Structures are given as structure tokens and as C-alpha cells.
Chain A
Amino acid sequence: MSLAASLPVLVADGIDERGLAQAASTSPDAFAVLYRRHVGPIHAFAYRRSGSREVAEEVTSATFERAWRAMPSFEWRGGGFKAWLFAIAARELAGWYRRNARSGNDRAQRALRLLHTDVIDEEHERVSAEDEQALVREALSTLPQRYQEAISLRHFAGLDPDEAAAAMGCTKAVLAVTLHRATKALRRAIERRRSVDEGN
């Protein structure tokens, strides 16, 4: 029995997320439990969005650092801590692409060429899933940040519509409209890149 003594703060993992999030505003150990719960999903989210383990680790680090610093101002809302954390990660990802804007990597360029309508079918078959994904990722990075976040949270983070809407700070209906517009913008971005490539 050591309660009367000066004690290490160890927080059991069985506590509900809301209690943990409240405790994490003052307890690094509570935040550590949240961190261990979510570091895998956040890393997977960043990896699916970027296709790079290095970027995933960089974004994951930045996400949890920002979350740790912002915990005192965290307020439990719809979607809870998970949606809040993914929203931070989505912003970090958009920020990463903004800081590292470039014309395109080789894989994306190759996929772009092979997706042209005049490419013969045999070549088209060579477009691997990775090539396609690289193309989508690159085109996605050219969209406005809110569109990037909507598509990322809905398609790469594994959030259900309620959670994604909560992370976006909007209703499901608004999220649906935003997603619709974002998807159209993404399609246009891909077509625009194709036009530029044809011009070259």
C-alpha cells in the first residue's frame, strides 16, 4: 500500500478514452496510454497517404507532439480524442506536402503517362497499384487543404463518416458535400496533370 507516499503516476489501459483524455491534460502517463493506443493507426494513416515510411514517421511524430502540447485545451466533442488526433494528423500531412511541394516523382509521372487514353492495353496493365496510388497521392497534394483533409480522413484514416465529420468539425451532410467536391477536384487535378504532360 503506497498511496500515502509520493507515487509514480501509472494509468491503467482499461480506462475509457474520455477519462484518459481528461487525465492527459495533466498526466504524461495518461497521454502515454493514448499514444500507445493510437500511434499505430496514425502511422498507418500517414503511410497510406504518403506511401513513405519516412514521411509517416515524421508526420506521426509531429502529430503527437502537437497533440501533447494542445492537450490542456482539448475538449471532448463528437468523435472524441481519436477524431481530434486524426484531424491533427491530416493537417500535418497537408502541411508536409505544402512544404515539400515538387513537380512529381518518377512513379507518379510514369503512372500518369500510362493512364493516358491512347496507351495500349498491354501497357496499361503494367500500371501497378503502387503507381496508381502514387498518382492519386500526388494529385491530392495539389488540392486545397480542406479537400485534402476530407479525402484523407475518409479514405486513408479508416474513420467512419461520423468520426470523419467530427474530425473536420462539420456535420455528415457537409462532409458529404465537401467529399463530393474534393473528389471532383481530385479528378480534375489528375486530368490537369495529364494535360500538362501531353503538352510536354
Chain B
Amino acid sequence: MRGTDLRELLARLEDAPAPEPSAVFVAKLEGELRTMDRTIEAEGSRPRRARLLAAAGPVAALTAAAAAAAATLLPSDPHPRQVKTADPGVTAPAPPPEAPSSSVPIPTTVVVAPPWLPPVTAPVPPTTAVARSATPEPAPRPAEHTAPTAAPPHEAVTTTVPHETTTTTPPYETLTLQCSAGMSAGNPTVFCSWSQSGSPSFKWYRLWRESAGSPLAIVFQSDNRPTTGYYDHTVQASTNYYYKVDITDAAGNVIGSSSIAPVSCC
């Protein structure tokens, strides 16, 4: 390469001016991202069937449970079994044929709101789950347990929903939160501590903060259960802040929260 060294060329490329993306492009892409369903590709380690069921949502889960019941009743069905979901283009495959129908594991499929919808931080309605598990579920609280509808005894019953198929509600956990303001290395700081979650479904702590003129925001998030405190160094003096901590499960459902802790800084 006479007269032109490759490294110089690369350096020129490195320093070459690049135009800013157009505002229209940036806004359009952000809008597309906000409406994008990522559940299908989100967790590559999960079995494809579980991912499809999660993406298909409640109808698929319920239909899969019904299909499992049908497989139990009709083990000699010669036709390939497929579960058609209500979501166009998404088909949840039937259980592997080699698995005995009596022990076909149906992954616990929690019916949740789509992940792109903002989570609800107020006490949420009980999360409905359709589960069939080899291990018995902990006894749900009676007030929140929806008993399966049983057919009246005088009616002829031709199919039976397996007794394992049930609706459970994880208990809503109440956390305690304490926040105090002070100065740290000359900077205003708020320290928040909260009680450790004991929920078996725990996945995330989320510490929220709001102040006058500043929108509600997550200031800290951790998936480490023993982490029960956070120093917030992004506060300003002479400002009132309101904190709240909540916990979510792996699907993003809010499964517990604290009351609001006001603090005046600093």
C-alpha cells in the first residue's frame, strides 16, 4: 500500500466524523422497542416450549393444561398433538412423545401482564398461576384461593380436570423500610434499609424515589436477597424525598412492598 499506511487509514476512520442519527429515527426506534415483545427470545436457556407458553400467555397456558388433561384421557391419540394458541403465529408444541402422559411435566406458567407494560407498585391483585407440579404447592390463603369450578353432581361428566391443576396465589409480602438523611463526605446522602424478603418467589428488590419536581424513579435494584440497604448519593439538600421498596418475582410481578418512607434531606 504505497504512500498510505494501513494504520493511518484506520486512524482516519476512527476520527472520521459521523452524523448524528436523525431525531425521527431515534424516536421511531424507541417506539418500536417499547412495543416489542421480547419474551420469545428473552431466555435462551429456557426450554422452547416453556418460552412459547410464556409468550402465548394465559390462553396458551390454560389450553396446555387442557391438552395435558386430554393426553391423560386419550393416551392413544394417533394424531400429532399441538396446542393452538390465541396468539396468531405462535404454536406451543405438545409434550415430548417419549414422556409418559401420566408424568408429563408442565412447566409452571405464571400468567402475568406483558413485560412491556409498566409494573404496578400498588398492592396488586393476586397473581393467577396455572401449575401442575410433582411437589405440592404450599397451602394458599383461603381468602385468595380460587377454587376450581366443580361440576354439579347430577350432571354427566365426560372429562376431568386433573386435580393437580389449580389456581394459587403467592402471598403478598409486606416489607419494612426506614430511610434517614445525612451527610457523607460532605455530600447529602439518604440511607435506606429494609427488611429482607422471605418470599420464595423473590427475584428483585426495587427502591423507588419521588420528590417534588422529580418523577418517580427506581434508584436502586438488586437481585441479591441479603442486600437490604442502599446509600442514595443522588439527593439534593433542602428537598423532601419519598421512598418505597418493592419486590418482584422473576416474571416482573410485584409480590411485595413497603409503605412509603418520607425523608427530608439533609
Residue pair B42, A57 in contact (C-beta under 8 Å): no
Q: Which of A28, A32, A36 has the most CB of B within 10 A?
A: A28
A43 adjacent to B218 (CB under 8 Å): no
Chain A interface, DSSP helix/strand/loop, else mixed: helix
What is the distance, in angstroms, from A153's C-beta to the closest C-beta of chain B? 11
A17 close to B (CB within 8 Å):
no
Contact among A2, A29, A39, A187 for B210, CB-based, below 8 A: A2
A8-B252 contact given A3-B208, A28-B34, A132-B12, CB 8 Å threshold: no
Q: How many A-B residue pairs have CB under 8 A?
A: 171
Contact A43 B260 (CB under 8 A): no
Chain B binding site: helix, strand, loop or mixed by DSSP? mixed
Q: Contacting chain B: which of A68-76, A102-110, A165-173?
A: A68-76
A8–B10 alpha-carbon span in the complex (Å): 46
A101 contacts chain B at the CB level, 8 A cutoff: no
Set A4, A8, A65: member contacting B260, Cβ < 8 A: A4
Given the known interface contacts A60-B29, A155-B11, A155-B14, the answer about A190 and B42 at a Cβ–Cβ threshold of 8 Å is no
Q: Nearest chain-B residue to A15 (Cβ)?
A: B219
Given A15-B219, A73-B44: A124 touches B3 (CB 8 Å cut-off): yes
On whether the beta carbons of A44 and B18 are closer than 8 Å, the reply is yes
CB pair B21 A26 closer than 8 Å: no
Q: Would B42 and A19 count as touching, CB distance under 8 A?
A: no
Identity of the chain A residue whose Cβ is nearest the Cβ of B34 in the assembled complex: A28
Task: Flag whether B121 is at the interface (Cβ < 8 A).
Answer: yes
Contacts of A69 in B (CB 8 A): 36, 38, 40-42
* A8 and B20 contacting across the interface, CB-CB below 8 Å: no
Q: Determine the interface band of chain A, counting residues with CB < 8 A from chain B.
A: 35 or more
Q: Is A196 an interface residue (CB 8 A)?
A: no
Q: Which of B1-21 contact A (CB under 8 A)?
A: 1-4, 6-7, 9-14, 16, 18-21
A3 and B244 form a contact (CB under 8 A): yes
Chain B, residue nearest A30 (CB): B218
Give chain B's interface residue range (CB within 8 Å of chain A). Answer: 35 or more
**Is A175 part of the contact surface with B, judged by Cβ < 8 Å?**
no
A11 partner residues in chain B, CB cutoff 8 A: 217-218
Are the CB atoms of A68 and B218 closer together than 8 Å? no
| Nearest CB of B to A145, in Å | 18
Interface residues of B in 206-235 (CB under 8 A from A): 206, 208, 210, 214-223, 234
Question: In the bound complex, do residue A48 and residue B217 qualify as a contact, i.e. CB atoms below 8 Å apart?
Answer: no
Asked if B33 and A31 sit within 8 Å, CB to CB, the answer is yes
Known: A30-B218, A155-B13, A158-B14. A9 touches B119 (CB 8 A): yes
Contact B215 A10 (CB under 8 A): yes
- Asked, given contacts A3-B260, A56-B21, A115-B2, whether A15 binds B13 with beta carbons under 8 Å apart, the answer is no
Q: How far does the alpha carbon of A61 sit from the alpha carbon of B222 in the complex, in Å?
A: 29
B122 within 8 A of partner (CB):
yes
Complex formed: what's the CA distance from A7 to B217 in Å?
A: 10
Which residues of chain B from 62 to 115 have a CB within 8 Å of any chain A CB?
A: 115
Can you name the residue of chain A whose Cβ is closest to the Cβ of B45? Answer: A73
Assess whether A15 is in contact with B218, with CB atoms less than 8 Å apart: yes
Return the 6 tightest CB-CB contacts between A and B, nearest first.
A44-B18, A10-B215, A69-B38, A43-B21, A12-B217, A47-B18
10 more A-B contacts (CB under 8 A) besides A7-B120, A183-B6?
A: A2-B210, A3-B121, A5-B122, A22-B204, A22-B221, A26-B204, A116-B2, A133-B13, A156-B13, A186-B6
> Can you list 14 A-B contacts with CB-CB less than 8 angstroms, sorted by A residue number?
A3-B216, A8-B215, A10-B216, A23-B206, A32-B33, A35-B29, A48-B18, A68-B38, A69-B38, A117-B2, A124-B3, A129-B16, A156-B14, A158-B14
The interface of chain B, by Cβ under 8 A from chain A, is 1-4, 6-7, 9-14, 16, 18-21, 25-26, 29-30, 32-34, 36, 38, 40-45, 115-116, 118-122, 204, 206, 208, 210, 214-223, 234, 242, 244, 248, 252, 260
